[in-house]
Amino acid sequence: MAINITKTVKFDRNESCETGLRHPIYTIIDELKKLNHNEGIRVLVNDYDWVLVIKNTVNLMKNFCITDNGSNTELFHELIIYKCVLNP
């Protein structure tokens, strides 16, 4: 099954703390609402606490799956979140 990545969102903890931005999960949820079946978003995050919150939140959401691709060379953690149909 090929997932069509419709958007990449990047969250830098240093930038967010300096500018007082809201928690990334709100932006991610807004983007997930726009997805169709087999579409997904790529999320880059450099804060492990945020990674845990994002993964746990997505795991609680119906019809969404998450793949954790680990850290890349820029020290950002890559998550692929996509709309899927889960078996009951």
What pLDDT shows up at residue 74? 75
Are 82 and 65 in contact by the 8 Å Cβ rule? The answer is yes
CA dist., res. 50 & res. 81, Å (int): 14
Query: Does some domain include residue 15?
Result: yes
Q: What is the CATH number of the domain that holds 33?
A: 3.30.110.40
Our count of domains for the chain comes to 1
- The tens digit of pLDDT for each residue in 43-54 reads 999 999 999 999
Query: Does some domain include residue 34?
Result: yes
DSSP sequence for 2-17 = --EEEEEEEE-HHHHH
User: Who's near 70: CB < 8 A, 6+ residues apart?
Assistant: 77, 78
**Structural domain harbouring 50:** 4-83
Taking the model in full, what pTM does it have?
Answer: 0.86
Residues of the chain with pLDDT under 50: none
SS3 of residue 78 by DSSP: strand
Query: Does some domain include residue 88?
Result: no
Query: Does some domain include residue 30?
Result: yes
* HSE value, Cβ hemisphere, 13 Å, CA-based, for 27: 16
